[in-house]
Structure 1
Amino acid sequence: MPDVTIASPVVVSPSSSAPPSAPVVAATGGQLKTSAFKVPGEGSSVVISVVTVVVLLVLWAVATNVGWIKPLFLPTPQAVFQQFYEYLTGQANDKPLWQHFLASMFRVFSAFFLACITAIPIGIAMGMSRVVRGIFDPPLEFYRPLPPLAYLPLIIIWFGIDETPKILLIFLSCFAPLALAARAGMRSASQEQINAAYSMGASYMQVIRHVILPSAMPDILIGMRIAIGFGWTTLVAAEMVAANMGLGQMVLNASNFLRTDIVIMGIIVIGVVAYLFDLLMRWVERTVVPWKGRM
Protein backbone atom coordinates (compact mmCIF):
# COMPACT_ATOMS: atom_id res chain seq x y z
CA MET A 1 0.00 0.00 0.00
CA PRO A 2 1.55 3.34 -1.01
CA ASP A 3 2.41 5.86 1.65
CA VAL A 4 -0.02 8.73 2.06
CA THR A 5 1.36 12.05 3.21
CA ILE A 6 -1.10 14.29 4.98
CA ALA A 7 -0.34 17.99 4.73
CA SER A 8 -0.60 19.99 7.90
CA PRO A 9 -3.46 22.46 7.81
CA VAL A 10 -2.61 26.12 7.59
CA VAL A 11 -4.51 28.11 10.21
CA VAL A 12 -5.24 31.72 9.37
CA SER A 13 -6.25 34.05 12.14
CA PRO A 14 -9.45 36.00 11.41
CA SER A 15 -7.74 39.19 12.48
CA SER A 16 -4.82 38.77 10.13
CA SER A 17 -4.99 40.18 6.65
CA ALA A 18 -2.53 39.74 3.83
CA PRO A 19 -2.26 41.71 0.62
CA PRO A 20 -3.22 39.97 -2.61
CA SER A 21 0.41 39.81 -3.66
CA ALA A 22 1.56 38.03 -0.48
CA PRO A 23 3.22 34.63 -0.99
CA VAL A 24 0.89 31.66 -0.91
CA VAL A 25 2.13 28.89 1.35
CA ALA A 26 1.42 25.37 0.10
CA ALA A 27 2.09 22.36 2.29
CA THR A 28 2.90 19.31 0.21
CA GLY A 29 4.74 16.22 1.33
CA GLY A 30 5.47 17.74 4.72
CA GLN A 31 7.45 20.59 3.11
CA LEU A 32 6.43 24.23 2.74
CA LYS A 33 6.67 25.67 -0.74
CA THR A 34 6.08 29.35 -1.45
CA SER A 35 4.65 30.69 -4.67
CA ALA A 36 3.79 34.29 -5.42
CA PHE A 37 1.49 35.87 -7.91
CA LYS A 38 3.50 37.08 -10.86
CA VAL A 39 3.24 40.80 -11.43
CA PRO A 40 3.46 41.91 -15.07
CA GLY A 41 6.79 43.50 -15.88
CA GLU A 42 7.41 47.02 -17.13
CA GLY A 43 8.39 45.70 -20.55
CA SER A 44 4.96 44.23 -21.25
CA SER A 45 3.26 47.48 -20.21
CA VAL A 46 5.48 49.49 -22.55
CA VAL A 47 4.66 47.21 -25.47
CA ILE A 48 0.93 47.48 -24.78
CA SER A 49 1.20 51.29 -24.54
CA VAL A 50 3.09 51.53 -27.84
CA VAL A 51 0.56 49.29 -29.59
CA THR A 52 -2.31 51.38 -28.19
CA VAL A 53 -0.77 54.63 -29.46
CA VAL A 54 -0.13 53.12 -32.90
CA VAL A 55 -3.71 51.83 -33.16
CA LEU A 56 -5.12 55.25 -32.20
CA LEU A 57 -2.93 56.98 -34.78
CA VAL A 58 -4.03 54.53 -37.48
CA LEU A 59 -7.70 55.02 -36.62
CA TRP A 60 -7.20 58.79 -36.68
CA ALA A 61 -5.49 58.66 -40.08
CA VAL A 62 -8.11 56.37 -41.60
CA ALA A 63 -11.10 58.31 -40.26
CA THR A 64 -9.81 61.67 -41.47
CA ASN A 65 -8.29 60.67 -44.81
CA VAL A 66 -11.29 58.62 -45.89
CA GLY A 67 -13.57 61.54 -45.09
CA TRP A 68 -15.59 60.11 -42.21
CA ILE A 69 -14.83 63.25 -40.17
CA LYS A 70 -14.62 66.73 -41.64
CA PRO A 71 -11.28 68.58 -41.28
CA LEU A 72 -13.00 71.36 -39.32
CA PHE A 73 -13.75 68.91 -36.52
CA LEU A 74 -10.65 66.70 -36.79
CA PRO A 75 -7.84 67.43 -39.26
CA THR A 76 -5.61 64.74 -40.70
CA PRO A 77 -2.36 63.77 -38.95
CA GLN A 78 -0.49 65.16 -41.96
CA ALA A 79 -2.04 68.61 -41.44
CA VAL A 80 -1.18 68.59 -37.74
CA PHE A 81 2.40 67.53 -38.47
CA GLN A 82 2.67 70.25 -41.13
CA GLN A 83 1.68 72.89 -38.55
CA PHE A 84 4.15 71.44 -36.07
CA TYR A 85 6.92 71.68 -38.69
CA GLU A 86 6.02 75.26 -39.60
CA TYR A 87 5.93 76.38 -35.96
CA LEU A 88 9.13 74.52 -35.22
CA THR A 89 11.01 76.14 -38.13
CA GLY A 90 9.45 79.59 -37.66
CA GLN A 91 7.51 79.54 -40.96
CA ALA A 92 4.10 80.00 -39.33
CA ASN A 93 2.36 83.37 -39.09
CA ASP A 94 3.06 83.40 -35.39
CA LYS A 95 5.95 83.25 -32.97
CA PRO A 96 8.12 80.10 -33.21
CA LEU A 97 7.12 77.11 -31.17
CA TRP A 98 10.17 77.31 -28.91
CA GLN A 99 9.14 80.77 -27.69
CA HIS A 100 5.65 79.53 -26.78
CA PHE A 101 7.23 76.47 -25.18
CA LEU A 102 9.72 78.40 -23.04
CA ALA A 103 7.07 80.86 -21.86
CA SER A 104 4.78 78.05 -20.73
CA MET A 105 7.61 76.09 -19.13
CA PHE A 106 8.68 79.16 -17.14
CA ARG A 107 5.15 79.73 -15.83
CA VAL A 108 4.42 76.10 -14.96
CA PHE A 109 7.71 75.24 -13.31
CA SER A 110 8.04 78.56 -11.48
CA ALA A 111 4.62 77.97 -9.94
CA PHE A 112 5.44 74.31 -9.25
CA PHE A 113 8.73 75.20 -7.53
CA LEU A 114 7.04 77.82 -5.36
CA ALA A 115 4.32 75.31 -4.47
CA CYS A 116 6.92 72.70 -3.47
CA ILE A 117 8.86 75.00 -1.14
CA THR A 118 5.69 76.25 0.56
CA ALA A 119 3.07 73.48 0.41
CA ILE A 120 5.30 70.58 1.47
CA PRO A 121 6.51 72.25 4.73
CA ILE A 122 2.96 73.37 5.50
CA GLY A 123 1.63 69.86 4.85
CA ILE A 124 4.32 68.38 7.10
CA ALA A 125 3.43 70.89 9.81
CA MET A 126 -0.26 70.02 9.41
CA GLY A 127 0.58 66.37 9.98
CA MET A 128 2.62 67.20 13.11
CA SER A 129 0.50 69.88 14.78
CA ARG A 130 -3.22 70.12 15.41
CA VAL A 131 -2.94 73.90 15.62
CA VAL A 132 -1.38 74.20 12.15
CA ARG A 133 -3.90 71.72 10.76
CA GLY A 134 -6.75 73.74 12.22
CA ILE A 135 -5.39 76.94 10.65
CA PHE A 136 -4.75 75.69 7.11
CA ASP A 137 -7.34 72.95 6.69
CA PRO A 138 -10.45 75.20 6.21
CA PRO A 139 -8.99 77.44 3.46
CA LEU A 140 -7.42 74.46 1.69
CA GLU A 141 -10.63 72.45 1.68
CA PHE A 142 -12.62 75.54 0.65
CA TYR A 143 -10.67 76.54 -2.45
CA ARG A 144 -9.44 73.09 -3.51
CA PRO A 145 -12.66 72.07 -5.37
CA LEU A 146 -13.03 75.48 -7.03
CA PRO A 147 -12.11 75.63 -10.73
CA PRO A 148 -9.35 78.16 -11.51
CA LEU A 149 -11.66 80.13 -13.81
CA ALA A 150 -13.87 80.86 -10.79
CA TYR A 151 -11.27 83.00 -9.01
CA LEU A 152 -9.38 84.15 -12.12
CA PRO A 153 -11.26 87.52 -12.26
CA LEU A 154 -10.29 88.26 -8.65
CA ILE A 155 -6.63 87.48 -9.34
CA ILE A 156 -6.68 89.83 -12.33
CA ILE A 157 -8.25 92.62 -10.23
CA TRP A 158 -5.80 92.14 -7.37
CA PHE A 159 -2.54 91.49 -9.28
CA GLY A 160 -2.99 92.95 -12.77
CA ILE A 161 -2.33 91.25 -16.09
CA ASP A 162 1.43 90.66 -16.12
CA GLU A 163 3.19 87.38 -15.25
CA THR A 164 2.18 87.43 -11.57
CA PRO A 165 -1.48 86.35 -11.99
CA LYS A 166 -0.51 83.61 -14.45
CA ILE A 167 2.05 82.07 -12.09
CA LEU A 168 -0.22 82.60 -9.08
CA LEU A 169 -3.11 80.78 -10.73
CA ILE A 170 -0.94 77.76 -11.51
CA PHE A 171 0.60 77.96 -8.02
CA LEU A 172 -2.80 77.73 -6.37
CA SER A 173 -3.73 74.70 -8.46
CA CYS A 174 -0.50 72.94 -7.37
CA PHE A 175 -0.56 74.00 -3.72
CA ALA A 176 -3.57 72.05 -2.39
CA PRO A 177 -2.66 68.54 -3.65
CA LEU A 178 0.94 68.97 -2.48
CA ALA A 179 -0.06 70.10 1.03
CA LEU A 180 -2.66 67.36 1.43
CA ALA A 181 -0.26 64.68 0.19
CA ALA A 182 2.44 65.81 2.63
CA ARG A 183 -0.09 65.84 5.48
CA ALA A 184 -1.26 62.31 4.62
CA GLY A 185 2.32 61.10 4.30
CA MET A 186 3.16 62.20 7.83
CA ARG A 187 0.77 59.51 9.08
CA SER A 188 2.35 56.72 7.05
CA ALA A 189 4.85 55.65 9.69
CA SER A 190 3.51 52.89 11.92
CA GLN A 191 3.37 53.34 15.67
CA GLU A 192 5.68 50.34 16.09
CA GLN A 193 8.42 52.09 14.08
CA ILE A 194 8.05 55.27 16.13
CA ASN A 195 8.12 53.38 19.45
CA ALA A 196 11.14 51.39 18.32
CA ALA A 197 13.02 54.61 17.52
CA TYR A 198 12.14 56.09 20.91
CA SER A 199 13.21 52.90 22.68
CA MET A 200 16.65 53.22 21.07
CA GLY A 201 17.04 56.71 22.49
CA ALA A 202 16.01 58.83 19.50
CA SER A 203 14.81 62.36 20.16
CA TYR A 204 11.58 63.84 18.81
CA MET A 205 13.33 65.56 15.89
CA GLN A 206 15.34 62.42 15.09
CA VAL A 207 12.11 60.43 14.90
CA ILE A 208 10.69 63.04 12.52
CA ARG A 209 13.81 63.06 10.36
CA HIS A 210 14.71 59.36 10.26
CA VAL A 211 11.33 57.62 10.64
CA ILE A 212 8.37 59.80 9.73
CA LEU A 213 9.81 61.80 6.81
CA PRO A 214 11.17 58.71 4.96
CA SER A 215 7.74 57.09 5.40
CA ALA A 216 6.08 60.24 4.04
CA MET A 217 8.29 60.55 0.96
CA PRO A 218 6.24 58.20 -1.30
CA ASP A 219 3.08 60.22 -0.63
CA ILE A 220 4.91 63.51 -1.15
CA LEU A 221 6.30 62.37 -4.50
CA ILE A 222 2.86 61.19 -5.62
CA GLY A 223 1.51 64.58 -4.59
CA MET A 224 4.19 66.24 -6.73
CA ARG A 225 3.12 64.18 -9.75
CA ILE A 226 -0.53 65.11 -9.20
CA ALA A 227 0.34 68.76 -8.62
CA ILE A 228 2.32 69.17 -11.84
CA GLY A 229 -0.59 67.59 -13.69
CA PHE A 230 -2.92 70.21 -12.24
CA GLY A 231 -0.38 72.86 -13.24
CA TRP A 232 -0.47 71.84 -16.90
CA THR A 233 -4.27 71.64 -16.71
CA THR A 234 -4.45 75.22 -15.45
CA LEU A 235 -1.96 76.52 -18.02
CA VAL A 236 -4.56 77.40 -20.66
CA ALA A 237 -6.70 79.26 -18.13
CA ALA A 238 -3.62 81.11 -16.81
CA GLU A 239 -2.57 82.21 -20.30
CA MET A 240 -5.99 83.69 -20.95
CA VAL A 241 -4.79 86.69 -18.93
CA ALA A 242 -3.47 88.97 -21.70
CA ALA A 243 -0.69 86.60 -22.74
CA ASN A 244 1.07 87.04 -26.07
CA MET A 245 3.17 83.87 -25.79
CA GLY A 246 2.64 80.38 -24.45
CA LEU A 247 1.26 77.05 -25.58
CA GLY A 248 -2.12 77.79 -24.01
CA GLN A 249 -2.27 81.19 -25.69
CA MET A 250 -1.37 79.59 -29.02
CA VAL A 251 -4.24 77.10 -28.64
CA LEU A 252 -6.73 79.78 -27.61
CA ASN A 253 -5.72 82.11 -30.44
CA ALA A 254 -6.03 79.29 -32.99
CA SER A 255 -9.48 78.33 -31.68
CA ASN A 256 -10.72 81.87 -32.34
CA PHE A 257 -9.95 81.36 -36.03
CA LEU A 258 -11.21 77.73 -36.12
CA ARG A 259 -7.69 76.45 -36.82
CA THR A 260 -8.30 72.97 -35.50
CA ASP A 261 -4.97 71.70 -36.80
CA ILE A 262 -3.05 74.20 -34.66
CA VAL A 263 -5.30 73.49 -31.67
CA ILE A 264 -4.62 69.76 -31.84
CA MET A 265 -0.92 70.36 -32.43
CA GLY A 266 -0.75 72.50 -29.28
CA ILE A 267 -2.71 69.94 -27.27
CA ILE A 268 -0.35 67.17 -28.36
CA VAL A 269 2.72 69.25 -27.44
CA ILE A 270 1.31 70.03 -23.97
CA GLY A 271 0.36 66.40 -23.42
CA VAL A 272 3.73 65.03 -24.53
CA VAL A 273 5.68 67.48 -22.35
CA ALA A 274 3.49 66.71 -19.32
CA TYR A 275 3.89 62.97 -19.92
CA LEU A 276 7.67 63.23 -20.22
CA PHE A 277 7.84 65.12 -16.94
CA ASP A 278 5.65 62.47 -15.33
CA LEU A 279 8.11 59.81 -16.52
CA LEU A 280 10.89 61.87 -14.94
CA MET A 281 8.97 61.99 -11.66
CA ARG A 282 8.51 58.21 -11.79
CA TRP A 283 12.28 57.82 -12.17
CA VAL A 284 12.87 60.16 -9.23
CA GLU A 285 10.37 58.15 -7.20
CA ARG A 286 12.16 54.86 -7.97
CA THR A 287 15.50 56.48 -7.07
CA VAL A 288 14.48 58.28 -3.88
CA VAL A 289 12.11 55.66 -2.44
CA PRO A 290 13.27 52.32 -3.89
CA TRP A 291 11.56 50.47 -1.04
CA LYS A 292 8.08 51.56 -2.14
CA GLY A 293 5.89 48.55 -2.94
CA ARG A 294 8.46 46.08 -1.58
CA MET A 295 7.53 46.15 2.09
Structure 2
Amino acid sequence: MSEIAQDIVLRPDQLHTHTLSQPLPRPVRTVEMTSFGIVGRPTAAISLVAAVVILSAWWAASWFSLVSPLFLPAPAEVVTQFANIYRDGYAGASLGEHLFASLFRILTAAAIAISLAIPIGLLMGVNRVAKGVLDTPIEFYWPLPPLSYLPLMIIWLGIGETSKITLLTLAMFAPICLSAQAGVRALPIERINAARSLGASRFQLFTDIVFPSALPEILTGVRIALGIGWGTLVAAELIASTRGIGFMIMSAAQFLATDVVFVGIFIIAACAFASAAAIRLLEAALVPWKGRT
Protein backbone atom coordinates (compact mmCIF):
# COMPACT_ATOMS: atom_id res chain seq x y z
CA MET A 1 0.00 0.00 0.00
CA SER A 2 1.38 3.39 -0.89
CA GLU A 3 2.24 6.06 1.66
CA ILE A 4 -0.67 8.23 0.50
CA ALA A 5 -3.10 5.35 0.93
CA GLN A 6 -1.73 4.63 4.40
CA ASP A 7 -2.30 8.25 5.38
CA ILE A 8 -6.01 8.14 4.59
CA VAL A 9 -6.81 4.70 6.03
CA LEU A 10 -8.46 4.89 9.49
CA ARG A 11 -8.53 2.21 12.11
CA PRO A 12 -11.96 1.06 13.35
CA ASP A 13 -11.38 2.71 16.75
CA GLN A 14 -10.69 6.03 14.98
CA LEU A 15 -13.74 5.94 12.68
CA HIS A 16 -16.33 7.05 15.25
CA THR A 17 -14.16 9.88 16.55
CA HIS A 18 -13.37 11.12 13.09
CA THR A 19 -17.01 11.07 12.04
CA LEU A 20 -18.16 13.08 15.04
CA SER A 21 -15.44 15.64 14.50
CA GLN A 22 -16.93 16.64 11.15
CA PRO A 23 -19.22 19.73 11.32
CA LEU A 24 -22.88 18.89 10.94
CA PRO A 25 -24.82 20.76 8.23
CA ARG A 26 -27.14 23.49 9.50
CA PRO A 27 -30.84 22.84 9.09
CA VAL A 28 -32.43 24.66 6.18
CA ARG A 29 -34.97 27.22 7.34
CA THR A 30 -37.86 27.99 5.05
CA VAL A 31 -38.88 31.62 4.63
CA GLU A 32 -42.49 32.47 3.88
CA MET A 33 -43.04 35.51 1.68
CA THR A 34 -45.93 37.69 2.79
CA SER A 35 -45.67 40.63 0.38
CA PHE A 36 -43.49 42.70 2.74
CA GLY A 37 -45.97 42.22 5.57
CA ILE A 38 -48.73 44.23 3.92
CA VAL A 39 -51.19 41.41 3.27
CA GLY A 40 -53.52 40.74 6.16
CA ARG A 41 -52.69 43.87 8.13
CA PRO A 42 -55.53 46.18 9.25
CA THR A 43 -54.85 48.86 6.64
CA ALA A 44 -58.39 50.23 6.93
CA ALA A 45 -57.82 51.04 10.61
CA ILE A 46 -54.50 52.71 9.79
CA SER A 47 -56.14 54.79 7.06
CA LEU A 48 -58.91 55.82 9.45
CA VAL A 49 -56.38 56.93 12.06
CA ALA A 50 -54.48 58.92 9.42
CA ALA A 51 -57.70 60.65 8.33
CA VAL A 52 -58.54 61.53 11.94
CA VAL A 53 -55.06 62.98 12.45
CA ILE A 54 -55.33 65.13 9.31
CA LEU A 55 -58.80 66.41 10.25
CA SER A 56 -57.60 67.15 13.77
CA ALA A 57 -54.65 69.15 12.44
CA TRP A 58 -57.00 71.04 10.10
CA TRP A 59 -59.38 71.82 12.95
CA ALA A 60 -56.52 72.94 15.21
CA ALA A 61 -55.07 75.22 12.52
CA SER A 62 -58.43 76.95 12.06
CA TRP A 63 -59.33 77.03 15.78
CA PHE A 64 -56.06 78.69 16.82
CA SER A 65 -56.08 80.97 13.72
CA LEU A 66 -52.76 79.62 12.50
CA VAL A 67 -53.95 80.13 8.91
CA SER A 68 -56.28 82.82 7.61
CA PRO A 69 -59.85 81.59 6.97
CA LEU A 70 -59.48 83.01 3.46
CA PHE A 71 -56.94 80.28 2.71
CA LEU A 72 -58.10 77.52 5.05
CA PRO A 73 -61.73 77.65 6.23
CA ALA A 74 -62.75 75.73 9.32
CA PRO A 75 -64.18 72.23 8.81
CA ALA A 76 -67.51 73.42 10.23
CA GLU A 77 -67.69 76.17 7.59
CA VAL A 78 -67.10 73.66 4.80
CA VAL A 79 -69.83 71.37 6.15
CA THR A 80 -72.22 74.31 6.45
CA GLN A 81 -71.47 75.44 2.91
CA PHE A 82 -72.04 71.90 1.62
CA ALA A 83 -75.46 71.89 3.30
CA ASN A 84 -76.27 75.27 1.74
CA ILE A 85 -75.26 74.13 -1.75
CA TYR A 86 -77.18 70.88 -1.32
CA ARG A 87 -80.27 72.86 -0.33
CA ASP A 88 -80.04 75.93 -2.56
CA GLY A 89 -77.70 74.89 -5.36
CA TYR A 90 -74.89 76.97 -6.81
CA ALA A 91 -74.72 79.31 -9.82
CA GLY A 92 -78.27 78.60 -10.92
CA ALA A 93 -78.05 74.80 -10.75
CA SER A 94 -78.60 72.24 -8.03
CA LEU A 95 -75.78 70.14 -6.64
CA GLY A 96 -77.30 67.11 -8.37
CA GLU A 97 -77.18 68.88 -11.75
CA HIS A 98 -73.53 69.82 -11.25
CA LEU A 99 -72.68 66.27 -10.19
CA PHE A 100 -74.63 64.70 -13.06
CA ALA A 101 -72.86 66.91 -15.62
CA SER A 102 -69.44 65.87 -14.31
CA LEU A 103 -70.37 62.19 -14.09
CA PHE A 104 -71.71 62.23 -17.64
CA ARG A 105 -68.45 63.67 -18.98
CA ILE A 106 -66.23 61.32 -16.98
CA LEU A 107 -68.19 58.14 -17.73
CA THR A 108 -68.59 58.96 -21.43
CA ALA A 109 -64.89 59.68 -21.80
CA ALA A 110 -64.00 56.54 -19.82
CA ALA A 111 -66.21 54.38 -22.04
CA ILE A 112 -64.58 55.79 -25.19
CA ALA A 113 -61.06 55.47 -23.77
CA ILE A 114 -61.60 51.88 -22.63
CA SER A 115 -63.17 50.78 -25.91
CA LEU A 116 -60.22 52.22 -27.87
CA ALA A 117 -57.27 51.74 -25.54
CA ILE A 118 -57.69 48.06 -24.68
CA PRO A 119 -57.75 46.74 -28.29
CA ILE A 120 -54.93 49.07 -29.33
CA GLY A 121 -52.83 48.15 -26.30
CA LEU A 122 -53.34 44.44 -26.88
CA LEU A 123 -52.46 44.86 -30.55
CA MET A 124 -49.27 46.71 -29.61
CA GLY A 125 -48.42 43.87 -27.25
CA VAL A 126 -48.73 41.11 -29.83
CA ASN A 127 -47.68 42.93 -33.00
CA ARG A 128 -44.25 44.51 -33.40
CA VAL A 129 -45.29 46.72 -36.31
CA ALA A 130 -48.25 48.16 -34.40
CA LYS A 131 -46.01 48.87 -31.43
CA GLY A 132 -43.45 50.61 -33.62
CA VAL A 133 -46.08 52.80 -35.28
CA LEU A 134 -48.18 53.72 -32.23
CA ASP A 135 -45.72 53.70 -29.36
CA THR A 136 -43.97 56.96 -30.27
CA PRO A 137 -47.05 59.23 -30.53
CA ILE A 138 -48.55 57.78 -27.35
CA GLU A 139 -45.33 58.19 -25.40
CA PHE A 140 -45.00 61.72 -26.82
CA TYR A 141 -48.33 63.08 -25.66
CA TRP A 142 -48.74 60.92 -22.53
CA PRO A 143 -46.48 63.04 -20.24
CA LEU A 144 -48.06 66.32 -21.37
CA PRO A 145 -50.47 67.93 -18.88
CA PRO A 146 -54.00 68.22 -20.29
CA LEU A 147 -53.91 72.00 -19.88
CA SER A 148 -51.15 72.14 -22.50
CA TYR A 149 -53.41 70.87 -25.29
CA LEU A 150 -56.62 72.39 -23.93
CA PRO A 151 -56.33 75.38 -26.34
CA LEU A 152 -56.07 72.95 -29.28
CA MET A 153 -59.27 71.22 -28.18
CA ILE A 154 -61.05 74.58 -28.20
CA ILE A 155 -59.64 75.55 -31.62
CA TRP A 156 -60.34 72.19 -33.24
CA LEU A 157 -63.60 71.17 -31.56
CA GLY A 158 -65.16 74.36 -30.24
CA ILE A 159 -66.50 75.01 -26.75
CA GLY A 160 -69.23 72.36 -26.59
CA GLU A 161 -69.28 68.98 -24.88
CA THR A 162 -67.16 67.39 -27.62
CA SER A 163 -64.00 69.26 -26.62
CA LYS A 164 -64.52 68.47 -22.92
CA ILE A 165 -65.07 64.76 -23.49
CA THR A 166 -62.17 64.57 -25.97
CA LEU A 167 -59.82 66.16 -23.44
CA LEU A 168 -60.86 63.66 -20.77
CA THR A 169 -60.60 60.77 -23.24
CA LEU A 170 -57.04 61.70 -24.18
CA ALA A 171 -56.10 61.96 -20.51
CA MET A 172 -57.45 58.47 -19.78
CA PHE A 173 -56.44 56.71 -23.00
CA ALA A 174 -52.68 56.37 -22.50
CA PRO A 175 -52.64 54.68 -19.05
CA ILE A 176 -55.09 52.01 -20.20
CA CYS A 177 -53.33 51.42 -23.52
CA LEU A 178 -49.86 51.16 -21.98
CA SER A 179 -51.14 48.89 -19.21
CA ALA A 180 -52.73 46.53 -21.73
CA GLN A 181 -49.51 46.42 -23.71
CA ALA A 182 -47.46 45.75 -20.55
CA GLY A 183 -49.82 42.95 -19.56
CA VAL A 184 -49.27 41.18 -22.87
CA ARG A 185 -45.50 41.72 -22.77
CA ALA A 186 -45.34 40.19 -19.28
CA LEU A 187 -47.00 36.97 -20.46
CA PRO A 188 -44.53 34.04 -20.15
CA ILE A 189 -43.79 32.48 -23.52
CA GLU A 190 -44.11 29.04 -21.92
CA ARG A 191 -47.88 29.51 -21.67
CA ILE A 192 -48.12 30.32 -25.36
CA ASN A 193 -46.00 27.33 -26.32
CA ALA A 194 -47.97 25.00 -24.05
CA ALA A 195 -51.27 26.14 -25.57
CA ARG A 196 -49.89 25.75 -29.09
CA SER A 197 -48.68 22.24 -28.32
CA LEU A 198 -52.24 21.39 -27.30
CA GLY A 199 -53.56 22.59 -30.66
CA ALA A 200 -54.94 26.01 -29.68
CA SER A 201 -55.82 28.32 -32.56
CA ARG A 202 -54.74 31.98 -32.72
CA PHE A 203 -58.19 33.06 -31.60
CA GLN A 204 -58.12 30.64 -28.68
CA LEU A 205 -54.65 31.84 -27.73
CA PHE A 206 -55.96 35.39 -27.55
CA THR A 207 -59.22 34.68 -25.71
CA ASP A 208 -57.95 31.99 -23.33
CA ILE A 209 -54.32 32.97 -22.71
CA VAL A 210 -53.39 36.51 -23.77
CA PHE A 211 -56.43 38.48 -22.63
CA PRO A 212 -56.91 36.77 -19.23
CA SER A 213 -53.20 37.16 -18.48
CA ALA A 214 -53.28 40.88 -19.37
CA LEU A 215 -56.56 41.56 -17.54
CA PRO A 216 -54.98 42.41 -14.14
CA GLU A 217 -52.76 45.05 -15.76
CA ILE A 218 -55.71 46.37 -17.78
CA LEU A 219 -57.87 46.84 -14.68
CA THR A 220 -55.01 48.57 -12.90
CA GLY A 221 -54.67 50.90 -15.87
CA VAL A 222 -58.41 51.63 -15.83
CA ARG A 223 -58.24 52.48 -12.13
CA ILE A 224 -55.31 54.83 -12.67
CA ALA A 225 -56.98 56.37 -15.72
CA LEU A 226 -60.16 57.16 -13.80
CA GLY A 227 -58.09 58.95 -11.17
CA ILE A 228 -56.39 60.98 -13.89
CA GLY A 229 -59.78 61.70 -15.44
CA TRP A 230 -61.14 63.12 -12.20
CA GLY A 231 -57.97 65.18 -11.86
CA THR A 232 -58.46 66.54 -15.38
CA LEU A 233 -62.13 67.37 -14.83
CA VAL A 234 -61.46 70.91 -13.60
CA ALA A 235 -59.42 71.67 -16.73
CA ALA A 236 -62.10 70.17 -18.98
CA GLU A 237 -64.85 72.22 -17.37
CA LEU A 238 -62.92 75.43 -17.93
CA ILE A 239 -64.27 75.30 -21.50
CA ALA A 240 -67.38 77.50 -21.37
CA SER A 241 -69.16 75.37 -18.77
CA THR A 242 -72.18 76.33 -16.71
CA ARG A 243 -72.56 72.95 -14.99
CA GLY A 244 -70.15 70.61 -13.27
CA ILE A 245 -68.14 70.25 -10.09
CA GLY A 246 -65.02 71.57 -11.83
CA PHE A 247 -66.97 74.61 -13.00
CA MET A 248 -68.20 75.14 -9.44
CA ILE A 249 -64.61 75.08 -8.12
CA MET A 250 -63.29 77.56 -10.69
CA SER A 251 -66.27 79.87 -10.33
CA ALA A 252 -65.90 79.93 -6.54
CA ALA A 253 -62.16 80.57 -6.83
CA GLN A 254 -62.82 83.75 -8.81
CA PHE A 255 -64.79 85.11 -5.84
CA LEU A 256 -62.35 83.76 -3.21
CA ALA A 257 -65.09 81.48 -1.84
CA THR A 258 -62.61 79.01 -0.39
CA ASP A 259 -65.26 77.03 1.46
CA VAL A 260 -67.07 76.31 -1.82
CA VAL A 261 -63.76 75.30 -3.40
CA PHE A 262 -63.21 72.82 -0.56
CA VAL A 263 -66.71 71.44 -1.06
CA GLY A 264 -65.98 70.81 -4.74
CA ILE A 265 -62.59 69.26 -3.95
CA PHE A 266 -64.13 66.85 -1.44
CA ILE A 267 -66.89 65.88 -3.89
CA ILE A 268 -64.34 65.09 -6.61
CA ALA A 269 -62.20 63.17 -4.10
CA ALA A 270 -65.22 61.15 -2.97
CA CYS A 271 -66.18 60.33 -6.56
CA ALA A 272 -62.61 59.32 -7.41
CA PHE A 273 -62.43 57.13 -4.30
CA ALA A 274 -65.75 55.48 -5.17
CA SER A 275 -64.66 54.76 -8.74
CA ALA A 276 -61.35 53.27 -7.55
CA ALA A 277 -63.20 51.11 -5.02
CA ALA A 278 -65.55 49.89 -7.75
CA ILE A 279 -62.61 48.86 -9.94
CA ARG A 280 -60.99 47.07 -7.00
CA LEU A 281 -64.20 45.11 -6.46
CA LEU A 282 -64.18 44.25 -10.16
CA GLU A 283 -60.57 43.10 -9.84
CA ALA A 284 -61.49 40.86 -6.91
CA ALA A 285 -64.29 39.30 -8.96
CA LEU A 286 -62.47 38.90 -12.30
CA VAL A 287 -58.85 38.32 -11.24
CA PRO A 288 -59.00 36.92 -7.69
CA TRP A 289 -55.47 35.52 -8.04
CA LYS A 290 -53.92 38.98 -8.37
CA GLY A 291 -51.52 39.88 -5.56
CA ARG A 292 -51.31 36.39 -4.10
CA THR A 293 -47.92 34.89 -3.41
The two structures have a TM-score, normalised by structure 2, of: 0.87
Any idea what SS the aligned residue of 1:293 has? coil
Q: Which amino acid aligns with 1:243?
A: S
Say yes or no: does 1:168 pair with 2:175: no
In the superposition, relative to structure 1, how do residues 258 and 129 fare at CA in structure 2: closer, same or farther (>3 Å)? same
Query: SS at the partner of 2:288?
Result: coil
Q: Aligned partners of 1:222 and 1:92: how far apart in 2? A: 35
Q: RMSD across aligned C-alpha pairs, in angstroms?
A: 1.9
Post-superposition Cα deviations, 1:163-190, rounded to whole Å, max 9, x if no partner, equal 0000000000001111111111112221
Per-residue CA deviations over 1:73-103 (Å, capped at 9, x if unaligned) read: 1000011001100111126564221111110
Quick one: structure 1 residues 92 and 191, their matched pair in 2 at CA, closer, same or farther if it must change by over 3 Å?
closer
Deviations 1:224-281 (A, max 9, x none): 0111111011100000000001000000000000000000111011011101111111
User: Could you list the runs of 5+ residues in structure 2 that have no partner in the other structure?
Assistant: 1-19
What TM-score comes out, normalization by structure 1 length?
A: 0.87
- The corresponding residue for 2:13 is none
Distance 1:83 1:134 in 2: 52
User: Counterpart of 2:289?
Assistant: 291
Q: Which residue of 2 aligns with 1:118?
A: 116
Q: In the TM superposition, what are the counterparts of 1:205-224 in structure 2 within 5 Å?
A: 205-224=203-222
In structure 2, distance between residues paired with 1:35 and 1:114: 43
- How big is the shift at 1:294? 2.3
Unmatched segments (≥5 aa) in structure 1:
11-23, 26-33
Contact 1:87 1:95 in 2 (8 A): no
Runs of 4+ in 1 over 3 A off after TM superposition: 4-10, 34-43, 91-94
1:187 equivalent among 185, 188, 194: 185
CA distance in 2, matches of 1:80, 1:154: 36
**In structure 2, C-alpha distance between the alignment counterparts of 1:191 and 1:80, rounded to whole Å:** 55
Provide the rounded CA distance (Å) in 1 between the counterparts of 2:89 and 2:201.
64
CA change 1:256–1:276 in 2 (3 A) is same
Higher relative contact order (CA 8 A, sep 6+): 2
Q: Which one has the bigger helix percentage? A: 2
Please give the alpha-carbon distance, in whole angstroms, between the structure 1 residues aligned to 2:249 and 2:98: 10
How many residue pairs are counted as aligned between the two chains?
A: 271
1:53 paired residue among 51, 67, 89:
51
For the pair shown, the structure with the greater C-alpha radius of gyration is 2
Please tell me the residue identity of whatever aligns with 1:139: P
Q: Is the 8 A contact 1:83 1:92 kept in 2?
A: no
